[in-house]
């Protein structure tokens, strides 16, 4: 009886199904949670950043001064660097540094204000420092992500000189920063367990503010200077960034 009972218990233990234990396969993308991304592409101006209207703005010399700016920006170039960590559950945190260079359309500006105008730089240099969250959704060798970030946007306005009769007026806007946000996503394709290529679409929005401005008027015989630190000029800015890049996982 004792031997029979022991055999029965041994058979029950042997037949009992064991729960499956899942562990990421070494070398697969499942065990790579840190990601470094680098992407390059186009920076398409939107909102007032792309506007070429001067009526009732700071550049409307036929009416009272305004604190509103128009961008006269053209399509430019974007560089973006990201660092992210993916938590279990396909959600993570991401840091982003981006930089855009957009030409200033000085010819259209001259035509709109009605004065011959020049600019030594004729270009915007925009930098963004953002942090936020993202979701990652893998499908075979593809990984689709969506992100939402907030932070600081810094952007200088080009110095502009306008010629009126025998006087040249040079406008220099001070500062150039504001709260910004970035919404977008990407599609990544794994070349190996550590390297992927990506296609990215992001929209950056910000209301960039310039804390005052100065005007220098020069003639063949004299130079005049005016400065205002109390007026805050604003430029509602939008940039659509379409880029391709590479992702390193480790």
Residues 106-126: tens digit of each pLDDT? 999 999 999 999 998 889 999
What is the secondary structure of 187-218 as a DSSP string?
EEEESSSSEEEEEEEEEEEEEEEEEEEEEEEE
Phi/psi for 57 (5° steps) reads: -120, 180
Average pLDDT over residues 23-28: 49
Model-level pTM? 0.84
Largest CA distance in the chain: 123
Average pLDDT over residues 155-163: 95
For residue 3, pLDDT beyond 50: no
- We find that the CATH architecture of domain 30-153+178-210+233-249 is Beta Barrel (2.40)
Element (H, E) at 55: none
* Rounded percentage of the chain residues whose pLDDT exceeds 70: 87
Extents of the domains making up the chain: 30-153+178-210+233-249
Locate 123 and state its tokens: 């270009």
25 confidence band (pLDDT: 50, 70, 90): very low
* Rounded percentage of the chain residues whose pLDDT exceeds 90: 73
What pairing do the DSSP bridges indicate for beta strands 195-218 and 223-249? antiparallel
230 confidence band (pLDDT: 50, 70, 90): confident
What pairing do the DSSP bridges indicate for beta strands 167-190 and 160-164? antiparallel
- The CA-to-CA distance between both ends of the chain, in Å, stands at 59
For residue 1, pLDDT beyond 70: no
């Amino acid at each position: 009886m004792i031997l029979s009972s022991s055999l029965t218990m041994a058979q029950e233990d042997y037949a009992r199904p064991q729960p499956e234990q899942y562990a990421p396969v070494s070398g697969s993308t499942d065990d790579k949670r840190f990601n470094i991304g680098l992407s390059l592409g186009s920076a398409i101006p939107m909102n007032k950043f792309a506007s070429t209207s001067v009526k009732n703005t700071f550049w409307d010399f036929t009416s009272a001064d305004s604190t509103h700016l128009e961008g006269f920006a053209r399509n430019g170039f974007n560089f973006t660097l990201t660092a992210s960590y993916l938590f279990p559950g396909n959600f993570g945190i991401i840091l982003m540094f981006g930089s855009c260079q957009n030409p200033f359309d000085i010819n259209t500006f001259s035509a709109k204000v009605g004065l011959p105008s020049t600019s030594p730089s004729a270009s915007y240099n925009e930098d963004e420092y953002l942090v936020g969250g993202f979701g990652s959704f893998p499908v075979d060798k593809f990984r689709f992500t969506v992100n939402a970030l907030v932070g600081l946007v810094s952007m200088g306005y080009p110095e502009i000189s306008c010629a009126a009769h025998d006087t040249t007026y040079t406008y220099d806007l001070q500062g150039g920063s504001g709260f910004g946000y970035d919404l977008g996503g990407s599609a990544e394709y794994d070349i190996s367990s550590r390297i992927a290529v990506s296609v990215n679409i992001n929209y950056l929005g910000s209301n960039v503010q310039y804390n005052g401005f100065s005007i220098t008027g020069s003639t063949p015989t004299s130079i005049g200077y005016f400065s205002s630190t109390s007026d805050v000029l604003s430029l509602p800015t939008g940039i659509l960034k379409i880029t391709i890049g590479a992702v390193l996982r480790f």
